[in-house]
Structure 1
């Protein structure tokens, strides 16, 4: 049986043109290409600083407030930098990153649209039309009432409503004396997304946990039958 003649590598290289080397160029471009930084959102009345932001989103993140020097630093943190700051476990870092992105998009919790917050609380009152056929809840500056503010400046706040004559209801709303409205204090975890409870170890371990439960149940039934 005749073997096919071998073509020397040097001859093959002289016949077939070499493809231009673009890998190194591409990698070099990637090294010099940097992502544009995400926009830095401004603080709002209900979360004017880092400690308050960490306080309202909950899950114990307020304990790291002294490790983050500024608002700019908070919104520039990466997951790796959070780990270096000691923010653990990983799901807590993911939770914080998720809230930073939500804040950028304006997806806020209760009181996110308040304009007037002083000494850690906002004042809400009931505004009405002249005929009093419509009522809505507005945020007013401390020491002011609805009658002190021009009608065009009264803006309805989301998530709060009027029950009965002048009762303000909504998240964390506490009634003021004399039925003059309500106050909403800034409290720990008021924007917190509650963690769900894992049933039988969650999706990953559910089959294993349920199998062990069945084994333990059958064992207990056999022991109970043997004692009779």
Structure 2
């Protein structure tokens, strides 16, 4: 391949996965808004529910914005984003408790 064409193709492949994550699923089941979603997933996420103004904002906000603009800590960001992706795939939200450390 010509070097310039090759680099443009690789750049397109590298950044193409971001467009797929912007799909905003419709509300369904018992989840009708952001506070209900956050309460359903548990782990005190209902405390940060007020930082998301709309359903669309919840599904389009990335980790960097959650950290810098919203001040959400790392564990909650990862947990929220994992549930956002699961909800997109059709999984109904439910609380998953944190594993307790094993005694030695």
Short-chain TM bin: 0.7 to 0.9
Distance 1:83 1:36 in 2: 21
1:197 equivalent among 83, 100, 104: 100
* In the alignment, structure 1 residue 56 sits paired with structure 2 residue 40: yes
> 5+ residue gaps in structure 2?
none
Task: Give the TM-score taking structure 1 as reference length.
Answer: 0.38
1:70 to 50, 54, 60: 54
Q: After superposition, give the CA deviation of every residue in 1:170-221 in whole Å (9 maximum; x if it has no partner).
A: xxxxxxxxxxxxxxxxxxxxx2101111114xxxxxxxxx6xxxxxxxxxxx
**For each residue in 1:4-37, what CA deviation from the matched residue of structure 2 results, as whole angstroms up to 9, or x when unmatched?**
xxxxxxxxxxxxxxxx6x2696159727x54423
The TM-score normalised by the length of structure 2 is 0.77
SS at match of 2:60: coil
Structure with the higher fraction of residues in strand conformation: 1
Matched, 1:86 2:67: no
Number of residue pairs matched?
98
Report the counterpart of residue 26 of structure 1 in structure 2: 7
Larger of the two Rg values belongs to structure:
1
Name the residue aligned to 1:105. Answer: 89
State how 1:157-172 maps to structure 2 within 5 Å: none
What is the Cα deviation at residue 45 of structure 1? 4.1
After TM superposition, what 4+ stretches of structure 1 lie above 3 angstroms from structure 2? none
Query: Corresponding residue for 1:36?
Result: 19
SS at match of 2:100: coil
